[in-house]
Structure 1
Amino acid sequence: MDFEYSDRCKNLQDKLLTFMNQHVYPNEKTFKQQVDSNGADKGNRWIPTQLIEDLKPKAREQGLWNLFLPKSVRAPEGLSNLDYAPLCEIMGRVIWAPEVFNCSAPDTGNMETIERYGSEEHKRQWLEPLLRGEIRSAFAMTEPAVASSDATNIETRIERDGEHYVINGHKWWISGAGDPRCQIFILMGKTDPAAARHQQQSMILVPADTPGITITRPLPVFGYDDAPHGHCEIRYENVRVPAANILLGEGRGFEIAQGRLGPGRIHHCMRAIGVAERALELMCQRLNQRVAFGKKISEQGVWRERIAESRIQIDTARLLTLKAAYMMDKVGNKHAQAEIAMIKVLAPNVAQQVLDWAIQAHGAGGVSDDFPLAAQWAGNRTLRLADGPDEVHRNVIAKLELAKHL
């Protein structure tokens, strides 16, 4: 098993680190100021920031664009999962940075879904403008009325009516729906409630301007609205879309979901490792700067224990992520199921622990907006729920392990 990065990956790492140092870290406060000023001056926090729009052409000029999508003729710059991992980690160190490189969720998962399962017309109409960064997208699966950790619970109906499907349902936590550039939803619902349990669901492309779609409200995470991206509650009432918008055909939704969520999960984990790495970096800087009880806090035994444990946990999570990426490249997502599930549990929990220690090291400053830690803590906590909660992934791991000994 060889985890050596390719020469191209190493070159991109150097370029990405330089880009982050020159354009991203110095602008963290500028990003927040632009979001806040849009709300104050124009009454609308959901206006895309000029900062990110200005940085996108710079990233593209340097070849730091669409790096997430492997084996696509429409995105020849795409890397293998193994080569993308260290780059995704670097982007993940700042919450809004992935969008600069057209590598942000949920667009990455949606682009991979359309690439894998869409028709040529779907790709022309939606994938190509997404790859160019001209529009954004959302993935509409989670519902408030059911436990969406079990996707077979989904109640939204997709009913055939001649040359159209009619959609009725209630979704929430639909990330990216608040962005005015969001032009397409990939929606999961039921086409045949009487079919076998995993053949009831389908996925369909729903243009965001279709009549009958109502964005009820943005949903904040621990008080953060994540504007201009956001997570929204949406109602679909008699929404009519062409029958050709169905992906693969009726009853294939669960299959598509499994194919979509594998890469999405590992990308989340790559970014979570970047979050943890930066939290450890900020923790060490803070501990070296502060004196308590006559000596630097970094010289206190309890903090050395936490620093050491952070390093052990981060490197453990990184190695397991690389193993999962390696297996996805070599044997496919299905055969990497256990590794993807394990890292989806491990990485967010590691990042959460390191963030918690980093916040503690910063004292009251750690829970303020003067440092990125509080916002990262809030965002990272959602990863133990997003794309399947810890409990579901642990259950998958246990079932696979038990099957070895039947």
Structure 2
Amino acid sequence: MALHIQTLLVVAVFIFCLMGLLTFHAWCRETRERPLAYLCGMMLLAAVGVVLVSARGMGIDPLPVVLGNMILLLSAALNWTAMRVFNGRQASVPGILAGAGTWFLLCLTPVFYHSLELRVSLYSLMTATYGVLTALEFWRNRRQLEVAYLPALTLTLLHTAFYCVRSVVDQALPLDQALTGDGEGVPFFSFMLFESMLYVIGIAYVTLAMVKERVELKFKAAALCDALTGIGNRRAFMLGAERALLDCQQRQVPVALLLCDLDHFKRLNDNFGHQTGDLALIAFSQVLAQKLRAKDVFARIGGEEFACLLADTDQASALSVAEGIRNGFAQLTMLEPGLLSVSIGVVTSEEAGYELPRLLSQADQALYGAKGQGRNRVQAVPRRVAEAQSGRVR
């Protein structure tokens, strides 16, 4: 079945404009997602470029040959920039202009300007270069990306491979012959238009999906983060602690729970103001981050109360860590010595098992014991008390 090239060109321009406007609408609703703005620019420029390139043979060849291809190369550059910005890097203005600028300079050379074969090969290679740069952005940041980037990477690699092949096999069919359907290169020209349309639709869809997924991850992270200190909140602690406890129980290794409460926190707020109290909470969370391991779960679970779950930790190690936290906080110089202190209750799975409610309950009792004995101290649950409460001693 013969394909009508003029119809394909009109459909291509329509699809590029439609996808560009839809992407622009998505960006207007979430203006912080700059990749959508660059992607929108890529599609709209592609539409303009196709219209201009289609004007070949109308007596205004400099317009399609020079300006039309420059705009198409800018479109490819914006596609690369969209993915570059999505991966957390800044847009590169020299990189965006490099392709179009190189094309303009080459067109000043008569040998290049009058050789359709040379222009087709070089344009294809320059487009493929932007594709390679786009793929490298994903590959370089693959360990940091938390979204499903493989569809976008796959589309980019296929698009790049097509233009690499085109630089070799394209017979440089003049547009007037393509429009009349005359010439051996018509099927390849038709396939090129189809490939461009499919790529634009595909990259728009997967980019919107990646942006949506990242926004959802940000909201999820915010729901599990304490806004003041930047560490986990109670919900985050409960989820993380349950997973850690299950893992430790399966491996039959001890786990310790530290319950920390800043001493005389109300008095601190009353005497020095709530801003100082907030700074004390932030400082204590930083002490926890410094003293604990990356695999430990810790969070602010109440006003001035913090909880820490330490995997692979027996009572002796837990007490040592707790003392380090207590000393680290007491030695901070943000206030006069003696004004900052914390009481810590310690319990391990050796006394309370692997149930989080029981660990929290017994750590809370140890914490109250530390408060009752003068504060600024670490208190562990006595084994006999823990066993009695667990029903192992009658």
* TM-score class, shorter: under 0.3
Larger-Rg structure: 2
Larger relative helix fraction? 2
Compare relative contact order (CA 8 Å, sep 6+) and give the higher one, 1 or 2: 1
Larger relative strand fraction? 1
TM-score w.r.t. the length of structure 2 is 0.24
TM-score w.r.t. the length of structure 1 is 0.23
